[in-house]
Amino acid sequence: MNSKVKEPLFHVVKRDDITRAKAWAIRLVAILAALVVCGIITFALTGDNPLSVYATMVTGAFGSARKTWVTLQNVAILLLISLAITPAFRMRFWNCGAEGQVIIGGLAAGACMITLGSKLPNAVVILLMIITSMLAGAIWALIPGLCKAIWNTNETLATLMMNYIATQIVAYFIIVWENPKGAGKIGIINQKSMVGWLPEVGNKYLLSIIVGLAITAFLYVYIYYSKHGYEVCVVGESERTAAYVGIKVKRVIIRTMILSGALCGLTGLLLVGGINHTITTTIVGGQGFTAIMVSWLAKFNPIAMIFTSFLIIFLGRGAGEIATVFELNQSFSDILTGIILFFIIGCEFFISYRIVFNKKKGGNE
Amino acid sequence: MSIRAPKDAYELGIGMVHQHFKLIDVLTATENIILGEEGKLNIKAATAKIQAICDKYGFDVDPNKKIYNMSVSEKQTVEIVKVLYRGADILILDEPTAVLTPQETDKLFMVLRNMKADGKAIIIITHKLNEVQEISDRVAILRQGEYIGDLITANTNAQEMTDMMVGRKVVLNIERPEPLNTPSPRIVIENLSVVDAEGVQKLKNVSFTANSNEILGIAGISGCGQKELLEAIAGLQPVTEGSITYIDESGASKSLIGMDPREISNMGIALSFVPEDRLGMGLVGNMDLANNMMLRSFRKNSTPFTDRKDPTHLAETIVSNLEVKTPSIDTPVRKLSGGNVQKVLVGREIANSPSVLMTAYAVRGLDINSSYAIYDLINAQKLKGVAVIFVGEDLDVLLQLSDRILVLCDGQVSGIVDGKTADKNEVGMMMTKLGGEDANE
């Protein structure tokens, strides 16, 4: 019989197992490869020395004490959002609504500051801000959660759509509360009285960082050592197994979405009450989606998320600095970030699979 | 020459009929058979060609019938015709008889003999040695992925084949030990009816009693309500009508209707269930052994935290007592072989000291050694006084192991026979016709 089948040059084999060291080695190689490619592209397009470009990235993130603190604060916020979606993701509930859950939490905090700022003592306002922001985030996540639990609707679509509603609600209230009138924005809330401004711990950046680390520790224990965390994992792996051992699947979905949304709301509180003291429709800046990548890259492990969120923020801030220092277009730094992320995500393929090259053979066997 | 895709295999004249059919339910037999063919679509010509193949070998199938209207045996026929239609000269059949009644198996073997007479090469994969002897000319024996040897079927016997499969001498009889105590009713089911979520009646007026100190076998062709019956008892399948009553050692009775698995266990009823879908229901494939042990026990302590010590200890005990082959107890169970997965699941379920043990297809896909290990475990439970409900597909095993056999047919009780005296053909007929009457026409 004639062979019509060509022997391909290589084929892909699923790896059985890979040691942690080897996996990290692959990731390291990927980052180095990404830097080389970025260097070539930088040189080809701009003629600038790639090494000094990279040095600028580091300066951009850590060039001064202030820059370092801002970097760490940004890491904390991205980390918090990533942590917030993680319980849902471990349940295989693809919560793409962090953006909306954060902003609605921020709106709740802002509303307390604006409407109650002159009526109640500062401590009470802050307490109400904490409660309402977490409640608002929880409700925003609960709605798609209930739809999924009761009617088995697609959670990705529902959570995505909730983002748009949240943004439009914020846009509406910005007009209601605009200050000064006709400015089309709210401006700094309670600039003089500073009511509802979250207290500074040490310096104005540290509060978010402390909250971020505390939530990391909490979620680590919750996911790996609590009964709730175990139930979340079983429901995510197989709802049939969960029912078989008497886990109430609907209750777990609802409970987990409330937790996920409340943590998002808490992040919104930090953004509005602690960092910006105002609210805009772009205050979350797409981090609700970046968080999905951070969480995935960390394999849903809260501790690993510290590193992945750091990596993303570092790249972003470094790339921004390049654009300013070398007077390049902002898009250029986006290109570099894109290349690096492509390599980092792409290398996960080589962690799960390996390439086997076929030996050259003379004709048919 | 290497084969990289099913297409390559077809070009070489090799076709395979998988254990799990690869058919599209909403298409007709013809449409399924020509699916994937390139060139101009001509259903009429294809139907004629299919009819010719059917007539030639004695297949009994309507090319225009939709798959979802077909019985399991018809679907299998479509799979075989598909392979022949593509011009295969070498046919591979993976466990083709697992889903068939004895009568349907005879019919399949008749067709296979016709194909052999026509010059086709047929490879049949089976775990039933009597079928090997009935249908094959030569038999190749594999053990754990290793080729052990091949024999002329006529010159060998079941004992020799088994010894080669296992690698040492084994006793081929399944024991049916006498119970140590007199059986007494444990689960009483009266007029049970179940309509599933799609509105299909799965069980109709089912009544029977499962006794302690006894193995109650349940026979029936696949999909005739075994799954729904066990799940209804376990509290996983809502019941439309009827009653399920649990009677404990002291004679007190409790109704299980409307209870979920957690409520049943909260009532102090140790009901163990080895479901058909081991990795999709009984275990979590991606979790390691200890975490899988935790599925049953994680609620036991009163803190919000899980205790990993006891489950880890249980996993270690099961690995050593049941000789589970695993690199470690931290290995995800999906990486274990079928037999070892089943040992882990059965081990966990009996660790609970059950008073009722339900098993569905407990030895499906297992090698002989593991199968006998499972039979021994089940017998040991019976001797401890447990009421065992054993859903099986191999009638020979059911007849050797069970004290009584409940035969289901299309969601109804076709009859209950005594395992010691029942006849295989009689049970086979009861599986296809209620009460087994008129099956000889």
Is B173 a domain residue? no
CA distance B304 to chain A (A): 6
For residues B305 and A227, the answer to whether their CB atoms sit within 8 Å is yes
What residues pair up with B149 in beta bridges, in sequence order? Answer: B141
Nearest chain B alpha carbon to A7: B2
Contact A244 B263 (CB under 8 A): no
The answer, for A8 touching chain B at a CB cutoff of 8 Å, is yes
Q: For residue A224, what are the contacts with CB-CB under 8 A and spacing of at least 6?
A: none
Query: Of B106, B136, B166, which one is at a domain's C-terminal end?
Result: B136
What residues pair up with B94 in beta bridges, in sequence order? Answer: B125
B249 secondary structure, DSSP code: T
Q: Which of A3, A233, A240 sits opposite B281 (nearest CB)?
A: A240
pLDDT band at A365 (very low <50, low <70, confident <90, very high): very low
Q: Give the alpha-carbon dihedral of B20, B21, B25, B27, to 10 degrees.
A: 170
Q: Given the DSSP bridges, would you call strands B241-247 and B185-195 parallel, antiparallel or unpaired?
A: antiparallel
Query: What pLDDT sits at residue A322?
Result: 81
Is B171 a domain residue? no
Q: What DSSP string describes B135-146?
A: H-SEEEEEETTE
Task: From chain A, pick out residues whose CB is under 8 angstroms from the CB of B275.
Answer: 244
What ipTM does this complex have? 0.81
Is B380 a domain residue? yes
User: Looking at the structure, do residues B212 and B299 belong to the same domain, yes or no?
Assistant: yes
- The region of weakest confidence among A170-174, B385-389, B425-429 is B425-429
- The answer to whether residue A98 scores a pLDDT higher than 60 is yes
The CA–CA distances, whole Å, from B287 to A89, A313, A351, B199, B205 equal 16, 33, 20, 35, 39
Query: What pLDDT sits at residue A87?
Result: 96
Tens digit of each residue's pLDDT (9 = 90 or more) over B61-76? 888 999 988 888 889 8
The alpha-carbon radius of gyration of chain B (Å, integer) is: 23
Is B145 a domain residue? no
Tens digit of each residue's pLDDT (9 = 90 or more) over B269-317? 999 999 999 998 999 999 999 999 999 989 888 889 998 899 999 999 9
Contact B284 A225 (CB under 8 A): no
- How big is the CA angle at B78 (ends B77 and B82), to the nearest 5 degrees? 120
Query: What pLDDT sits at residue A3?
Result: 47
User: Looking at the structure, do residues B327 and B415 belong to the same domain, yes or no?
Assistant: yes
The answer, for B269 touching chain A at a CB cutoff of 8 Å, is no
Contact A233 B287 (CB under 8 A): yes
What CA–CA distance (Å, rounded) separates A306 from A311?
9
Is B162 a domain residue? no
Query: Of B136, B169, B196, which one is at a domain's C-terminal end?
Result: B136
What CA–CA distance (Å, rounded) separates B131 from B139?
11
Neighbouring C-beta atoms of residue A217, cutoff 10 Å:
12
CA distance A6 to chain B (A): 9
B198 secondary structure, DSSP code: T
The answer, for B145 touching chain A at a CB cutoff of 8 Å, is no
Task: From chain A, pick out residues whose CB is under 8 angstroms from the CB of B236.
Answer: 243-244
User: Looking at the structure, do residues B216 and B79 belong to the same domain, yes or no?
Assistant: no
Mean pLDDT of A299-303: 94
Query: Of B120, B136, B152, which one is at a domain's C-terminal end?
Result: B136
User: Looking at the structure, do residues B354 and B414 belong to the same domain, yes or no?
Assistant: yes
Query: What pLDDT sits at residue B216?
Result: 96
What residues pair up with A235 in beta bridges, in sequence order? Answer: none
- The answer to whether residue B128 scores a pLDDT higher than 90 is no
Q: For residue B422, what are the contacts with CB-CB under 8 A and spacing of at least 6?
A: B399, B405
Joined together, the tokens standing for residue B284 give: 């979590």
Is B153 a domain residue? no
pLDDT band at A54 (very low <50, low <70, confident <90, very high): confident
Is B43 a domain residue? yes
What CA–CA distance (Å, rounded) separates A138 from A93?
15
Best to test chain A binding among B14, B263, B274, B298 (most A CBs inside 10 Å): B298
Helix (H) or strand (E) holding B242: strand B241-247
Mean pLDDT of A10-29: 82
Joined together, the tokens standing for residue B158 give: 């079941």
CA distance A215 to chain B (A): 17
Contact A234 B295 (CB under 8 A): yes
Query: What pLDDT sits at residue A321?
Result: 85
Q: Given the DSSP bridges, would you call strands B404-409 and B387-391 parallel, antiparallel or unpaired?
A: unpaired
Task: From chain B, pick out residues whose CB is under 8 angstroms from the CB of A246.
Answer: 235, 260-265
What residues pair up with A116 in beta bridges, in sequence order? Answer: none
The answer, for B302 touching chain A at a CB cutoff of 8 Å, is no
Tens digit of each residue's pLDDT (9 = 90 or more) over B182-231? 999 999 999 999 998 888 899 999 999 999 999 999 998 878 899 999 99
CA distance A189 to chain B (A): 41
Count of CB contacts below 8 A, A vs B? 79
- Residue ranges making up the domain that contains B229: 185-436
A positions 226-255 inside 8 Å of B (CB): 226-230, 233-234, 237-238, 240-241, 243-248
Give the sign of the dihedral formed by CA B406, CA B408, CA B412, CA B417.
negative
Contact B306 A226 (CB under 8 A): yes
Q: For residue B271, what are the contacts with CB-CB under 8 A and spacing of at least 6?
A: B233, B234, B246, B261, B264, B265, B354, B355, B356, B358
Task: From chain A, pick out residues whose CB is under 8 angstroms from the CB of B294.
Answer: 230
User: Looking at the structure, do residues B82 and B194 belong to the same domain, yes or no?
Assistant: no
Best to test chain A binding among B284, B331, B358, B359 (most A CBs inside 10 Å): B284
Contact A241 B282 (CB under 8 A): yes
Tens digit of each residue's pLDDT (9 = 90 or more) over B130-158? 888 899 999 999 887 789 888 999 998 88
Q: What DSSP string describes A135-170?
A: HHHHHHHHHHHHHHHHH---HHHHHHHHHHHHHHHH
- The answer to whether residue B436 scores a pLDDT higher than 70 is no
Length of chain B: 441
Best to test chain A binding among B256, B265, B299 (most A CBs inside 10 Å): B299
The answer, for B324 touching chain A at a CB cutoff of 8 Å, is no
Task: From chain B, pick out residues whose CB is under 8 angstroms from the CB of A234.
Answer: 284, 287, 295
Tens digit of each residue's pLDDT (9 = 90 or more) over A217-241? 999 999 999 999 999 999 999 999 9
User: Looking at the structure, do residues B25 and B88 belong to the same domain, yes or no?
Assistant: yes
pLDDT band at A281 (very low <50, low <70, confident <90, very high): very high
Joined together, the tokens standing for residue B79 give: 């799979």
Q: Which of B280, B291, B296 sits opposite A240 (nearest CB)?
A: B280
Q: How many folded domains does chain B comprise?
A: 2
What CA–CA distance (Å, rounded) separates B215 from B210?
8
What residues pair up with A353 in beta bridges, in sequence order? Answer: A14
Mean pLDDT of B381-393: 94
What CA–CA distance (Å, rounded) separates B347 from B364?
16
Query: What pLDDT sits at residue B158?
Result: 85
Joined together, the tokens standing for residue A75 give: 């890491």
The structural domains of chain A, with segments of one domain joined by +, span 88-313
Helix (H) or strand (E) holding A236: helix A227-237
User: Looking at the structure, do residues B193 and B124 belong to the same domain, yes or no?
Assistant: no
Task: From chain B, pick out residues whose CB is under 8 angstroms from the CB of A3.
Answer: 1
Q: Given the DSSP bridges, would you call strands B90-94 and B14-17 parallel, antiparallel or unpaired?
A: parallel
Length of chain A: 365
Task: Output the average pLDDT for chain B.
Answer: 89
What CA–CA distance (Å, rounded) separates B434 from B432?
7
Task: From chain A, pick out residues whose CB is under 8 angstroms from the CB of B296.
Answer: 245
Best to test chain B binding among A11, A228, A245 (most B CBs inside 10 Å): A245
Nearest chain B alpha carbon to A237: B284
What CA–CA distance (Å, rounded) separates B401 from B410?
24
CA distance A257 to chain B (A): 19
Contact A244 B261 (CB under 8 A): yes
Is B146 a domain residue? no
What CA–CA distance (Å, rounded) separates A252 from A300?
18
pTM of the model: 0.82
Nearest partner of A235 among B307, B423, B131, B295, judged by Cα: B295
Nearest chain A alpha carbon to B262: A246
What CA–CA distance (Å, rounded) separates B150 from B142?
9
Query: What pLDDT sits at residue B98?
Result: 75
Contact B282 A244 (CB under 8 A): yes
CA distance A360 to chain B (A): 13
CA distance A229 to chain B (A): 9
Query: What pLDDT sits at residue B440?
Result: 43
Instruction: Give Cα B86 to chain centroid, integer Å.
Output: 30
Nearest chain A alpha carbon to B273: A244
What CA–CA distance (Å, rounded) separates A117 from A332?
44
User: Looking at the structure, do residues B195 and B129 belong to the same domain, yes or no?
Assistant: no
- The answer to whether residue B441 scores a pLDDT higher than 90 is no
What CA–CA distance (Å, rounded) separates A101 from B210?
53
Query: What pLDDT sits at residue B222?
Result: 77
What CA–CA distance (Å, rounded) separates B178 from B186?
18
Neighbouring C-beta atoms of residue B268, cutoff 10 Å:
9
Task: From chain A, pick out residues whose CB is under 8 angstroms from the CB of B8.
Answer: 5
B333 secondary structure, DSSP code: G
By percentage, how much of chain A surpasses pLDDT 90?
A: 61
What CA–CA distance (Å, rounded) separates A174 from A186?
6
Helix (H) or strand (E) holding A247: none
B179 secondary structure, DSSP code: P
CA distance B389 to chain A (A): 17
pLDDT band at B42 (very low <50, low <70, confident <90, very high): confident
Residue type for B140, please? A
- The answer to whether residue A21 scores a pLDDT higher than 50 is yes
Contact B3 A225 (CB under 8 A): no
Mean pLDDT of B417-430: 90
- The answer to whether residue B100 scores a pLDDT higher than 50 is yes
Nearest partner of B414 among B398, B391, B430, B392, judged by Cα: B430
**CATH number of the domain where residue B73 is located:** 3.40.50.300
Give the side-chain half-sphere CA count within 13 A for A224. Answer: 10
- The answer to whether residue A361 scores a pLDDT higher than 60 is no
Query: What pLDDT sits at residue A359?
Result: 64
